[in-house]
Amino acid sequence: MDSQIHKIHQQLVNKEITCTALVQDKLKSLKQNTNNTVNALLDNLALNLAAKVDAKIAQGESIGLLEGIPFGIKDVYMVQGTLTTASSELLKNYKSAYTATAIQKLLDAGAIPLVKENCDSFGHGSSSENTIFGAVKNAINPDLVGGGSSGGSAVNVAKDYTVFSIGGDTGGSVRQPAGYNNVYGLKPTYGRISRYGLMAYASSTDCVGPIAKSIEDIRIVLNVMSGKDQKDQTTYASAEIAQDAISDAKDIKTVGYFKNFIENDAIDAQIKSDFLSAIEKIKAQGIQVKALDFFESNTLVSTYYTLAMAETASNLSRLDGTNYGNRIEAENLKETYAVTRSENFSEETKRRIVGGNQVLSQGFSDEIYLKGLNLRDQISENFENDFKEVDIIISPVTPNIPPKIGDSLKDPLAMYLSDAYTVGFSLGQLPTLTVPQGTATGLQITAAKNNDELVLKFANFLKDTI
């Protein structure tokens, strides 16, 4: 698919459409949608901004590329004055006091926010069923899950309800729903985009990630959101990625894949054979393909969940009904905290808080948490060595096709294992893109840290290759 952003920009400039009509049309589709993608519509804000864009065009002023382009926001981002619920009972009535840096940059560029999107509560999940707003339904088959945790965002893009959406990816939450709904979803290098104003899940892997229908739209949105931010000390300055810099992939000579991702019993037979035939097509283009060794999926999933649970238990400790959240008064302060948290957090979130506090507690932290950190270092080292040998690593996004709605809730462990292919790249803080090609749930393209440009370049190459 070609760039929607360029197309709409031209239509606006040529006065073939008005921004108001475009926004009205998208708001109507969002309102009528039966996939449960919407937590809150930002209709007044969107229509006001659209009127301003139309006035500018009518006066003959020029407009920027993102000006008037409607987009969606996962409901874990602060947007001043709007409800930011994280799809939780606890924050059902919480209004943001400020705007996230990444979102502010899009607003400054003139993009129009339409909707706060349904997701797994606090990013906890792989199916967008852990939400008070009802399970998100898959865009291709509504009996299946939309994927998670940024399920509403991926489905909105797939259904053309938004031109692009901003998800959040801690262990796969942009890439996996993008794969489940056949769209593009990027987890940039950790630190490339500021996390300020993204509700913290696991701070050491949280990334802001765009979801769109074309590589070009991902590139445009990535460029706008990137950059150093004083409010997030993990951010770094990055060069803009030019359109022509990613059009030719001649300098990509070697591609690797992890043998054990493919040669194991957990992968669906069709995904496996589709992946292997994608590899053949890449080879046929003269690229050398290497099979690489990597950690077992179980090790990756356990390491990720150990660290992610520890970090989320710590991050969510501030949600006790004092400064944030629906406070439930009880007999004394301690009881008030306990009742507020136990009544307002979901089962899945409580499982993670209990697990996280356990791994951080005295007597356990050396055995579990520190071991997790140590494994993470080994995983990063493994990646560093791999990228001395190959330019790109390619992998399936998920071992299986999306489950039916209801199944993941019955079996959380199976849900955690569905993250087997995404979490390793999060621990390594590497740039990874889901492309809607190759297997039923797409392919992931990964490069070394800070090499987001190479990822987009290879995506362009794959688009024409398989």
In angstroms, rounded to a whole number, what is the distance separating the alpha carbons of residues 3 and 10?
A: 11
Whole-number minimum distance, CB 89 to ligand GLN, in Å?
18
Residue 126 makes contact with ligand GLN by CB under 6 A? yes
Cβ proximity to ligand GLN: between 216 and 311 the closer is 311
Residue matched to tokens 């489905």: 155
Residue 124 makes contact with ligand GLN by CB under 6 A? yes
Tell which one of 201, 261, 337, 425 touches ligand GLN (CB under 6 A). Answer: 201
Residue 441 makes contact with ligand GLN by CB under 6 A? no
Residue 419 makes contact with ligand GLN by CB under 6 A? yes
Contact 374, 114 (CB under 8 A): no
Tell which one of 54, 67, 169, 453 touches ligand GLN (CB under 6 A). Answer: 169
In angstroms, rounded to a whole number, what is the distance separating the alpha carbons of residues 54 and 200?
A: 36
Tell which one of 99, 165, 170, 303 touches ligand GLN (CB under 6 A). Answer: 170
Q: How many CA atoms lie within 13 A of 428 on its CB side?
A: 29
Whole-number minimum distance, CB 221 to ligand GLN, in Å?
19
In angstroms, rounded to a whole number, what is the distance separating the alpha carbons of residues 154 and 398?
A: 15
Catalytic residue among 149, 153, 238, 418: 149
What binding mask, one character per residue, do residues 360-399 give for ligand GLN by CB under 6 A, x or -? ----------------------------------------
- The DSSP letter of residue 402 is P
Residue 121 makes contact with ligand GLN by CB under 6 A? no
Contact 27, 162 (CB under 8 A): no
Residue 68 makes contact with ligand GLN by CB under 6 A? no
Residues 6+ apart with CB under 8 A from 372: 302, 303, 306, 307, 310, 359
Residue 191 makes contact with ligand GLN by CB under 6 A? no
Residue nearest to ligand GLN (CB): 173
Q: Is residue 74 flagged as an active site residue?
A: yes
Residue 190 makes contact with ligand GLN by CB under 6 A? no
Instruction: Tell me how crowded residue 24 is: count the other CB atoms within 10 A of its CB.
Output: 15
Catalytic residue among 3, 26, 74, 457: 74
CA 200 to chain centroid, in Å, comes to: 13
Whole-number minimum distance, CB 52 to ligand GLN, in Å?
34
Cβ proximity to ligand GLN: between 173 and 340 the closer is 173
Whole-number minimum distance, CB 206 to ligand GLN, in Å?
8
Residue matched to tokens 């409607």: 70
Whole-number minimum distance, CB 146 to ligand GLN, in Å?
13
Residue matched to tokens 């969002």: 30
What tokens were used for 264?
């194991």
Residues 6+ apart with CB under 8 A from 444: 175, 179, 394, 395, 396, 397, 421, 422, 425, 432, 433, 434, 435
Cβ proximity to ligand GLN: between 184 and 461 the closer is 184
What binding mask, one character per residue, do residues 272-311 give for ligand GLN by CB under 6 A, x or -? ------------------------------------x---
Contact 131, 118 (CB under 8 A): yes
Whole-number minimum distance, CB 172 to ligand GLN, in Å?
5
Phi and psi at 465, nearest 5°, equal -100, -40
Q: Is residue 87 flagged as an active site residue?
A: no
Helix ranges (H only) for 199-346 are 215-225, 259-262, 269-284, 297-315, 333-344
Tell which one of 110, 113, 123, 325 touches ligand GLN (CB under 6 A). Answer: 123
In angstroms, rounded to a whole number, what is the distance separating the alpha carbons of residues 378 and 381?
A: 5
Which of these ranges, 77-85, 123-131, 191-199, 334-342, lies near ligand GLN under the rule CB under 6 A?
Answer: 123-131
- The DSSP letter of residue 244 is G
CA trace torsion 203, 206, 207, 208 (10° rounding): -90
Catalytic residue among 153, 173, 302, 408: 173
Cβ proximity to ligand GLN: between 170 and 340 the closer is 170
Q: Which of 276, 195, 261 is nearest to 229 (CA)?
A: 195
Q: Binding to ligand GLN (CB under 6 A): which residues in 129-168? A: 149
Whole-number minimum distance, CB 308 to ligand GLN, in Å?
5
Tell which one of 68, 146, 151, 171 touches ligand GLN (CB under 6 A). Answer: 171
Radius of gyration of the chain (CA): 21
Q: Can you give the binding site for ligand GLN, defined by CB under 6 A?
A: 123-126, 149, 169-173, 201, 308, 419
List the catalytic residues.
74, 149, 173
